[in-house]
Amino acid sequence: MQIPWRNISWVLLVLFAYNCQTCNGQDYGGEEKPAAPPPEQETCDGIFITYNFDGREKIYPLVKNVSAQGWSFKSMLTVLNAGTFELKSWQVFVGFQHKELLVSADGAVAIDGDGFPVRVGKNGTTLAGYPQSDLKTAIDTAGDFTQMSAQINIKGTQFGLKEKTNPMPSTIKLVNEGYKCPAPKRYKTYMHVCCKRDPKFKPKKVITKFMPRRYGDLSITYDVLSAFANRYQAQVTIDNLNPLGRLDHWNLTWEWMRNEFINTIKGAHTHKIDPSECIYGPQGQYYKDFDFTPVINCQKKPIISDLPKEKANDDKIGKLPYCCRNGTLLSPIMNETEARSIFQMEVFKLPPDLNRTALNPPQNWKIVGTINPSYTCGPPVRIDPSAFPDPKGIGIATAVASWQITCNITRPKPKAAKCCVSFSAYYAESVIPCNTCACGCEQTSKCDANKKPLLLPPEALLVPFENRDLMAKAWSNIKHLGPMPKKLPCPDNCGVSINWHVDSNYKTGWTARITLFNWGNNAFENWFSAIQMKKDVANGYENVYSFNGTKLPKEKSNTIFMQGLPGLKFLVGEVNGTNPNKDPRVPGKQQSIISFLKKNTPHINVDGGDGFPSKVFFNGEECALPPEFPKNTAAFKTKFGVLPAVLLALLTFLLLTDWLH
C-alpha cells in the first residue's frame, strides 16, 4: 500500500504550528503579555492604562535606507476604570515617535485626523473611545470588565527603525479633564500608568443626565429630531463662539461608521450628488427595491457646504433659520445671528441598527474655510437633548438625542500661515517685510526658501512681490546694506498682508498706522482684524479713526478688534494699474491710525518694541510676524532724510526703464 506522505506532512505541519509560538520580525527578549494583571493595577484607584507591543515585521519595498524602511506593527492599548467615578468620553494620548501611520484602531478613533489611515509622525496622537466612549465603575457594574474597560487593537506602519530598536511610544496618558498622570512605568515591550483624579480639580455640578456642554472656539451640535426604525431626521448646528474666530465658505466633512447615507438635505448641499456608491454597496444589497435615483449622497466621507443667499427662500432646500449665507460664520462680536449656521438631513441606516434607539453620530469631524483659522475637532460627546421652540408655538420641543462636537483653533505651523505682517516705524528707514515663505512655498528652484527677506523701502509695500526685486536692489545699494545674494529669498506667498507702522511717540501718547493689503482677486466682505499687544499696552488704547474699533473685555483685554465702517466693509481685491501694459497690479487697501495714551501705561517703551503687536489676526487667522523690529536710523531724522528717497526713486526709474527696453 502506498503511504500518503503528502497528507501526513500537512498534519505534522499543523501540529507543529499549533505547538509553536508566534514569531516576530526580530527578538525583543521573549517578553509576553502578562497573564495576570500587574500589581500596580490592583492598587490603582483611578484609570489604569497599558500599552503592549505585540510585534512587527518588515514590509515592501525592502530598502537599504533605514529611515525609509517600513515596518508593520501590532499593539494593544487597554483603558480600565479602576476608580469610583465613571469616566465619560475617555481620551488617551499615545506618544508615537517613529513616523507611525495608523491603519486601524478597533474600538477608538484618532481625534487628530479625519479617519484612518492617520499619519501621526513623531508627535503622537490622541485616541478617543468609539463606540464605547464611557467606562463605568466596578461598583456600578458588579465588576463587569466589558463595561469598565476598553481594549484597542492597533495596526500601523513605522519608519526609521533599526533591527534592534525599541519600537515603543514615548508615553501614554489620559487627557480627560480632572486627571493627573505620572510618567508611565516602562518595560521593553510593555508600559503602564495609573492616572488619578486631581484633588485640586473642582468639577462643575452636573445636573444633566449626560455630559455637560463644553466651551470651544467652534461648537457643532448633532441633533436627532425624529427617529424611525430605518432612518432619522438630523439637524446640524454650527456655532462660532470665539470673538476672534471666523469661517468663510466653510466645508464640513465627517465619516459614517455604519454605512449610513444621506437621502435628502435642506439648508446646505453636498459637493457630490451620486447614488452609485449606494447601488453597488451594502446599502443597495439591503434596500433592494429602493429607488436610489433621488438620493443626495452615499459617500463614506461626504463634504457639505452652505447654500448661497439666493436659496434662502427656496421651498425645497431653503427656508431654514440661520441657513444660506454662502458659508460665512462671522465673529459673535460682529453679529451674533450670523455666527450660526444650520442644516437638516434625512439619514438612512442599515442592519443591525434597525430600531429607533440605535443612533450613531458620524465620527472624525473636520471643518475648514478660506483665509480662516484651522480647527481641530474632538469626537462627538453625548449631551442632554437640545430644546427648540415648538413648531405649533406652544411650549418647548426637545430632540430625540444630541451630541456635541467641540472644535478649537490651532496655531498655524511655520510657513503655513494664510496672512503675514510687516513692521515699520517713523525712526527707521527700512521696512521689515513679511517672512520668506510665510504662507508656504511650492516653487523654490529660482529662489531661496530659507533666506532672510530683504529690507525694503516703504513704497515697495504697494507693489506685488515680483516687482520688488529692482526696488530691493536699489535700496540695498543706496543704504549700503551689503552684497545681494545670488539666489534671492522666495516671496511670502500670502493673499493678505498687513503693515504695522509706529507713526509717532510723544510724552503723553503714541500712534500707529495699520494697513491691510488684499493681493487676491476676490473681495473680503465684512472683514475684521485684531491686534494683541504685549503686557498691558492695550490699556492705553484711545481710538481707531478709520475703522470701527473696540477693546475686548476680560481674558482678551489686551486685544483690539477692528472692522470696516458702514460702507467700507469690503476689502477689495487686486486690480490693474493705471497703465496695465507697464504698471504693476494694485492691491486692495484699507488703513487707519490708532492712538494710545500713556496715562495708564507710563512704563512702556514704544521705540524699544512695546509699540508692536505680539499677535495679529485677519478674519480669525493668526498672521505670521517678523522675527525682529525696525532699527533706529539716526540719519532718517536729519533734514537730509528726503535725499535717499529721491535717489531711490531716480535709480528705480532708470533700472525699470532699462529693464523694459
What is the DSSP track for 240-294? Answer: E--TT--BSS-EEEEE-SS--EEEEEESEEES--BTHHHHTSHHHHHSTT---TT
Q: C-alpha dihedral over 460, 462, 467, 470, to 10 degrees?
A: -20
Beta carbons of 324 and 307 less than 8 angstroms apart: yes
C-beta of residue 309 within 8 angstroms of C-beta of residue 331: no
Alpha helices in 552-641 (DSSP H): none
Other Cβ atoms less than 10 A from the Cβ of 54: the count is 16
Q: One-letter amino acid identity for 207?
A: I
Are 191 and 167 contacting, i.e. CB atoms less than 8 angstroms apart?
Answer: no
From CA 322, how far away is CA 28, in angstroms rounded? 59
Q: Which CATH number fits domain 419-634: 3.20.19.10, 2.40.128.720, 3.30.365.10, 2.60.40.290?
A: 2.60.40.290
Buried b / exposed e over 522-534, threshold 16 CB at 10 Å, is bebebbbbbbbbe
Report pLDDT digits (tens) over 586-611.
999 999 999 999 998 989 999 999 99
| Residue 618: closest CA among 367, 340, 366, 248 | 248
Position 629: which residue type?
F
- Cα dihedral 343, 345, 250, 388, rounded to 10, equals 30
Dihedral sign of CA atoms 312, 316, 321, 325 in order: negative
**Tell me, what's the pLDDT at 112?**
76
DSSP state, 183?
A: P
Q: Architecture of 39-197 per CATH?
A: Sandwich (2.60)
Longest dimension (CA), the chain: 119
Residues 6 or more apart from 138 whose CB is under 8 A from it?
81, 82, 144, 148
Provide the angle, in degrees to the nearest 10, between the axes of the packed helices 642-660 and 469-479.
140
End-to-end CA distance of the chain: 102
8 Å CB contact between 196 and 46: yes
Contacts of 131 (CB under 8 A, 6+ apart): 107, 257, 360
For the chain, residues with pLDDT lower than 50 are 1-27, 29-30, 32, 34, 635-661
Residue 230's CB: how many other CB atoms inside 10 A? 17
pLDDT value of residue 327: 95
CATH topology of domain 218-409: Immunoglobulin-like (2.60.40)
Measure the CA–CA gap between 330 and 528, rounded to whole angstroms: 9
Helix (H) or strand (E) holding 560: strand 559-564
CB burial of 160-179 (b: ≥16 within 10 Å; e: otherwise) equals bbeeeeebbbebbbbebeeb
Residue 392 is predicted with a pLDDT of: 66
| Residue owning grid cell 493673499 | 495
Instruction: Tell me, yes or no, if the two domains 218-409 and 419-634 fold the same way.
Output: yes
pLDDT value of residue 205: 64
Q: What is the pLDDT of residue 35?
A: 52
Q: Write down the domain spans for the chain.
A: 39-197, 218-409, 419-634
Phi, psi of 289 (to 5 degrees): -100, 10
Q: What are 390's three cell numbers?
A: 415648538
Q: What angle do CA 108, 113, 118 make, to 5 degrees?
A: 80
Interstrand relation of 496-505 and 419-425 (parallel, antiparallel or unpaired): parallel
Cβ–Cβ < 8 Å for 308, 298: no
pLDDT for 181 equals 96
Find out whether 450 and 430 touch, Cβ atoms under 8 Å. Answer: no
Beta carbons within 8 Å of 33's beta carbon, 6+ residues apart = 52, 54, 76, 190
C-alpha cell at 291: 429607488
